[in-house]
Chain A
Amino acid sequence: MKKMRCAILGSGNIGTDLMFKMLRSDVLDLVALVGIDPESDGLKRAKGLGLLAPHEGPEWVLDPGNNIDMIFDATSAYVHVRNAPKYREAGIVAVDLTPAARGPKVIPAVNLYEHLDSMNVNMVTCGGQATTPIVYAIRRAIDELPYAEMVSTIASLSAGPGTRANIDEFTVTTSAALREIGGANTSKAIIVMNPADPPIMMRNTVFGALPEGSDHDAVIASILEMVEEVAKYVPGYHLKNEPVIEAGPFNTPGGVVPNRVVALLEVEGAGDYLPPYSGNLDIMTAAALRVGEAISIHKSGANA
């Protein structure tokens, strides 16, 4: 099988963490970590690992001489929006880790195989990666999910300046994923930053509205199954407590329901480049790698 030639664009925390993960991949051939600052820690590490570490940014990726098949964009929404059409023209598949959302949203545990032919896929947000699978798991166990809600709490230290300056992007994009991919009729997303020292692990809580007559055991079994599914590509993803059913009634935006299910999750990072508390960044890079591998296998004609 011919491996796709890959480049990671953006030599910050996410790009560098993804580099360490991708070097272990049997499916992807990582040739370069591309940045704009030759002095960045990420580019220095890339060089040390024997990779190309150009600092010409998107221009390097687009140079036909470099023969790149797939890029993982860990720059910013602004940079991605500007360059997405150029990657498409050049025939380069883009896995977008920014909130730009130019292509379909992909949550590996839910819709990995739906967009394998897309030239541009979007990885939603860290909170979206952590909670959309659970919302989907609740939805598939009942006839209708009137409302779903997620709360992400991340260590202040792991929230970069981009997230901080555009926090509305996180809540709006994540909330949309809970409906579009999770299958909830209505939704809400909340993000909280906690400055505690030592830093806390990323925490995610999912609430699902359970209409009259829902099979509670089926909901819980479906969640447990989904947690295992996500943990296959994000090893640090786990439940902090067994999911619980709580009695209301609850006056949700999707209507009054008698019960809710609560799933309390924690994501411990693999510690590849970022410390383990940064589960929020780890889940993004792990999910992006999973998507990149699936696309590569699909394109090479092997069974996905």
Chain B
Amino acid sequence: MSTPTTHRDFRLIDSTLRDGSHAISHQYTEDDVINIVKGLDAAGVEVIEIAHGDGLGGSSFNYGFSKVDEKLLIARACEATTNAEIACLLLPGIGVADDLREVKELGVNVARLAVHCTEADITEQHIKVAKKLEMEAIGFLMMSHMSTPEDLVKQALLMQSYGADTLYIADSAGAMTTEDVRRRVNALVNALEIPVGVHAHNNLSMAVANSIAAYEEGAKNLDGTSAGLGAGAGNCPTEILAAVSTKYGIETGVNPLALMDLAEEIVRPMMPRQQVIDRAGLILGYAGVYGSFLLHSQKAAERYGVSQAEILLELGRRKVVGGQEDMIIDVALELARAHAAQEGQ
């Protein structure tokens, strides 16, 4: 295998150990973390994100309890890495500033502060804490398909004014077309002084194409996960993004073959289900529903004997945002009641 080059046309952030956590219902073990971090690090990945899927402090009834305390997993990741930086993600309202202080002590130097794409002002406190801790602060606007390029720019400028070093938009529902991504990235790159990044999901089978389009519009950061492991139909697969980038002549600084080995030999064998675009996954993208609702809605559908597709479509109609997993139970109960009423007639 060749030594990773130093020149990189974009920075690759791998989120297998954070977004991927959704797909395995937050059951990562210390060994999983060590193996994945070593594989990514050896392949030349610059930044590795790790946390509960819903960010620091996400372990809960609402989002699923972690099998192993995320702080322990983060400590193992920090020990296992040689070159890669370890990053975390935090959603204000779920995690608190003290979580950032704790993980900084463990060796985490990058903090992604994630928020629904219209609510940037609730990250001010946390971006400032991250900067005070001398961490890189990345503003992360979720569900950005729900907002216009112009409104995203306004929110991004707020995050820049709080001190964010980088600004990401996340297609958390995997609902964007390539054109949607281009318009948003283009507007952000023109308006911001800080670099822009894109976090893509694959519900419409667009994750890799959207990531390449984002790069062409000037995005300097792209996210992936090994084997696409992640919420909904999964993320932009890191190894495919690396391979496709190479075909385009885009320098990633990572070794695509080493990433393919990691996906095939470490990650796929531990996945409870392969990351496919089945009906529920596609509906998430089609209806614009937060990707991490996938497994929770499957469970609720089984519990209450209602259709998962119906739950997801209703959540889309209600314009539910990330974090409102409790509404899955609400909708399932209402559907069950409506069905019972119909049968009773």
Please give the residue numbers on chain A whose beta carbons come within 8 Å of chain B beta carbons, in ascending order: 149, 151, 153, 156, 161, 164-168, 170-172, 188, 190-196, 200, 203, 205, 207, 209, 240-242, 244, 246, 250-253, 260, 262, 264
Contact = CB atoms under 8 A, between A and B. Distances in A.
Of A153, A172, A194, A260, the most chain B CB neighbours within 10 A belong to A194
A244 B329 contact: yes
A165 B323 contact: no
Contacts of A170: 93
Contacts of B116: 192-195
Contacts of A149: 60-62
Given A165-B125, A193-B116, A195-B119, A188 B60 contact: yes
B333 A192 contact: no
A160 to B, nearest CB: 11
13 contacts: A151-B62, A151-B323, A164-B119, A165-B121, A188-B57, A188-B60, A192-B323, A193-B116, A195-B118, A196-B321, A203-B330, A252-B61, A260-B61
A25 B119 CA distance: 37
Contacts of B333: 241-242, 244, 264
Given A165-B124, A195-B118, A241-B333, A190 B323 contact: yes
A194 B322 CA distance: 9
Contacts of A241: 330, 333-334, 337
B119 A168 contact: no
B102 interface: no
Of B65, B326, B333, the most chain A CB neighbours within 10 A belong to B326
Of A192, A244, A250, A262, the most chain B CB neighbours within 10 A belong to A192
A221 B116 CA distance: 37
Contacts of A196: 318-319, 321
Contacts, number: 106
Q: Is the interface of A mostly helix, strand, loop or mixed?
A: strand
B303 interface: yes
A205 B94 CA distance: 14
B320 A194 contact: yes
B321 A195 contact: yes
Contacts of A262: 326, 329
A190 B124 contact: no
B271 to A, nearest CB: 21
Given A149-B60, A151-B62, A241-B330, A194 B324 contact: yes
Nearest to A197: B319
Please tell me the size bucket of the interface on B.
Answer: 35 or more
A250 B57 CA distance: 16
B191 interface: no
A192 B67 contact: no
A168 B99 CA distance: 11
Contact of A246 (B122, B303, B325): B303
Nearest to B98: A168
Contact of B61 (A195, A207, A264): A207
Contacts of A205: 62, 326, 329-330
Nearest to B120: A164
Interface string B316-345: 001111111111011001100100000000
Contacts of A168: 92, 96-98, 125
B93 A167 contact: yes
Interface in B125-148: 125
Contacts of A188: 57, 60
Given A246-B303, A262-B329, A164 B122 contact: yes
Nearest to A149: B61
Contacts of B94: 171, 190
Nearest to A246: B303
A192 B321 CA distance: 8
Contacts of B320: 194
Given A193-B321, A196-B318, A209-B61, 15 more contacts: A149-B62, A151-B324, A153-B323, A153-B327, A164-B121, A168-B92, A192-B93, A193-B93, A193-B116, A194-B321, A195-B118, A241-B333, A251-B65, A251-B67, A253-B59
